[in-house]
Structures are given as C-alpha cells and as structure tokens.
A = this chain, B = another copy of it.
Amino acid sequence: MDMRSTLDAPDKPMNPTKLAIMDAAEQSILKHGYKAMSFRDLAAQVGIKSASVHYHFPTKADLLQALLVRHQSTLEAAMKPPKKKRQAAQKALNQFIECYRDITISRGSMALSAVLLAEHSLLDAQSKEQLNDLYQWQCDWLATIVSYLHKAEVPTDSDRQYASQIMASLHGASILAKATQDADIFDQVTQPWRTLVDRI
C-alpha cells in the first residue's frame, strides 16, 4: 500500500515480480521506445494486473529511474576497473564493445541510452540526470582505457577525444546495423577499435 521508495537495498535480493517488471520494461523500451511502454503491457507480460505494477513502481518515472540505476550498476560491474597494462586495457575495451554488440545483434536494438535520448524531453528531471551520468561514466571510463593504452596514468584531452570517437562509433554502429538490418555492419564499423593497442 505504501512504499517508502522505489530504491532497493543494494544487496537485498530483489522481489522476483519487481525484477520481471523491470526486465519487461527494458525490453519494451528497447523495442518500442519509452513513451510507448505501458504499464498494462508490462503487466500482461509479467502475468499480473497494471495496478500491481503501480504497487512496485508508483509512477512511470520511478520505473525508469530504477531501470537506469540498474543499468549503470550492471555496466559498472561488468566493466571492472581496467588494468593499466596495455593488453589488459585493450581487452577491457573489447569487452565494452561487446556490450554494445550484444544489444545490437541479439536484441536488434540501439543502446538503451540512445533510445531514451531520442525521447529526452519526456523524461523526468532525475532520469535525465541519470542518463547524463551514464554517458559521462562511459566516456570517462573509455578515456582512462585509452590513456592506459599508451601507458599514461591520467587521460589527456586527446584521450578524451579518442574516447568520444569510440563512443560515437559504437552508438552509430548500433544505429546503422539496425537501420540496414545487417548485423555485420556493427563489426565492420567497430573493428578498428578492437586492435587499437597496435596503432596507438
């Protein structure tokens, strides 16, 4: 009836229904966009009623925020602090590329962040911030990787620029692959980054 907050304790195992709702929501957003994602759809997907979805996530904004927080956590967990060794850094970069590749190929979608960005004006203020952070975190992480690739400790402006180019390339590759329905394009576009260590 009343929940203090949509935030879950960091470690407490999450209610399975709540988890199912979030999974369905993420799928739905990737497929149809944020505006088209509806509580009734999610409810049907999960096998409950829309009122029950509201029980777990009072508003659509709450649900989105939970999704973004989880997304960030997942990313941070997957992208452990990169090693400073050049080869390890390249490996970490490849793993990052793999994240985008996975969404693009197996789910046939552009990145969640890009989909949400397309509907940026519809998002609540907090989600906008979280989305912002998400991009910032990835750019920073990539810049660090790039700096490690040439044995530096702290990213230079040039490293940051490189990081932006990689990010752009990944998002663009995802878009192109989806637009042309040709998954190979993703690999063609991103291939240079997979061997960056040899050229930097």
Interface residues of A (CB under 8 A from B): 31-36, 110, 113-115, 117-122, 131-132, 135-136, 139, 161, 164-165, 167-173, 175-176, 178-181, 185, 188-189, 192
**A169 touching B169, Cβ below 8 Å:** yes
Q: Provide the bound-state CA to CA distance between A163 and B76, in Å.
A: 32
**A180 touching B33, Cβ below 8 Å:** no
Q: Which of B118, B169, B173 is A110 in contact with, Cβ under 8 Å?
A: B118
Set of chain B residues within 8 Å of A189, measured between Cβ atoms: 161, 164-165, 168
Set of chain B residues within 8 Å of A192, measured between Cβ atoms: 165
Do A161 and B188 contact each other (CB < 8 Å), given the known contacts A32-B122, A36-B122, A170-B172? yes
**A132 touching B180, Cβ below 8 Å:** yes
Do A139 and B180 contact each other (CB < 8 Å), given the known contacts A110-B117, A118-B110, A121-B31? yes
Stoichiometry, as copies per complex, reads 2
Q: Provide the bound-state CA to CA distance between A115 and B192, in Å.
A: 26
Q: Can you name 16 A-B residue pairings with CB atoms under 8 Å?
A: A33-B33, A33-B35, A35-B35, A110-B118, A115-B118, A117-B179, A118-B118, A132-B179, A164-B176, A165-B192, A168-B169, A168-B172, A168-B173, A171-B171, A171-B175, A171-B176
Q: Provide the bound-state CA to CA distance between A39 and B36, in Å.
A: 17
For residue A127, give the distance in angstroms from its CB to the closest CB of chain B. Answer: 13
Q: Which of B118, B165, B178 is A169 in contact with, Cβ under 8 Å?
A: B165
Q: Which of B119, B135, B173, B188 is A32 in contact with, Cβ under 8 Å?
A: B119
The closest CB in chain B to the CB of A166 belongs to B172
